[in-house]
Structure 1
């Protein structure tokens, strides 16, 4: 027998003899097995700690040596984009049901030709007098003026031309409401 083989045999034998010398009381029962009778006093048995399983809380501990099968993979991963957005979501070309503030003192209104909103959106024009803002389709909007602010709520789908006077010119913004 070689020296390496002899060393392995000594290690294996010392491990086996060390476990056998401890006796049956040194080995704790598995979490699914009820504890067996012990040779200790009744007071020690009353204060014995029952081991708790440390596995996953969603999966019970295995009861045999068989491996537990993993749960099946989901068929659709979360966060997968939908092919068509719901009617209230904004698309890249069209905003949702938002409030769009248009401060006339800070905006180059000549550059603003068209907007697109979902039904329920509000175009808030700030810094204008009463009765100056007009729409060509009043049946599609609800318009309100207070303290230099005109709120135009788009209540039905369609196309509305909003006319705003500024610097002795009338500027028209075409608003598409979906």
Structure 2
């Protein structure tokens, strides 16, 4: 490719990128977004032949000046703005969904783990135990598999399952709620 044709490609690409960037500033806010009360658009004067720019209220209009080195102000939340999710509370434990929960027995204080909550399809993987040692009180709610020192318990139906794990001569029970 010759230097002249390469310059033409660069100019065309620069013009295309410039047009695409201008279109991004003309996006209007979603109907659920409240307007920013700290920003106001000046009204056009009767002597001004140029109307004010029609930018998004959440984004300032483009300017030719370089951005300042100061950090942008922290976003504030106005009163009355609804939350999308409720705040977490200690009264109801959070369910983890259909995840794989690894429980390495050599690294875990199993006495501290008394209950878990999962979604249907989750797997409790108990690592570092022999075959046939882990038991459940509701085998109709789980699918259990052992291989190479690892027990996988897949929770296939909703309900509550007590998983019993022997360690150091004691049996530890973990209550698993499946939603």
Pair 57,127 (structure 1): closer, same or farther in 2 beyond 3 Å = closer
Q: Distance in 2 between matches of 1:82 and 1:117?
A: 22
- Counterparts of 1:134 and 1:71 in 2: how far apart (Å)? 58
Listed as ranges, the gaps of 5+ residues in structure 2 are: 1-14, 34-81, 87-91
SS in 2 for 1:110: helix
Q: Where in structure 1 are there 5+ consecutive unaligned residues?
A: 1-51, 61-69, 85-90
Q: For 2:20 and 2:118, how far apart are their aligned partners in 1?
A: 48
1:5-24 superposed Cα distances (whole Å, 9 cap, x missing partner): xxxxxxxxxxxxxxxxxxxx
Distance 1:56 1:109, change over 3 A: same
Q: For residues 126 and 151 of structure 2, what CA distance do their matches in structure 1 show? A: 5
1:127 and 2:128 are equivalent in the alignment: yes
- SS of the residue 1:170 aligns to: strand
Listed one character per residue, the Cα deviations across residues 114-148 of structure 1 (whole Å, up to 9, x for unaligned) are 01111111000001111100000111111000000
SS at match of 1:156: coil
Q: 1:74: Cα distance to partner?
A: 2.2
Distance 1:58 1:127, change over 3 A: closer
Instruction: Please give the alpha-carbon distance, in whole angstroms, between the structure 2 residues aligned to 1:127 and 1:71.
Output: 56
State which of 8, 30, 53 in structure 2 corresponds to 1:74: 30
Counterparts of 1:22-101 in structure 2 under 5 Å? Answer: 73-77=29-33, 82-83=84-85, 93-101=94-102
- Using the size of structure 1 for normalisation, the TM-score is 0.53
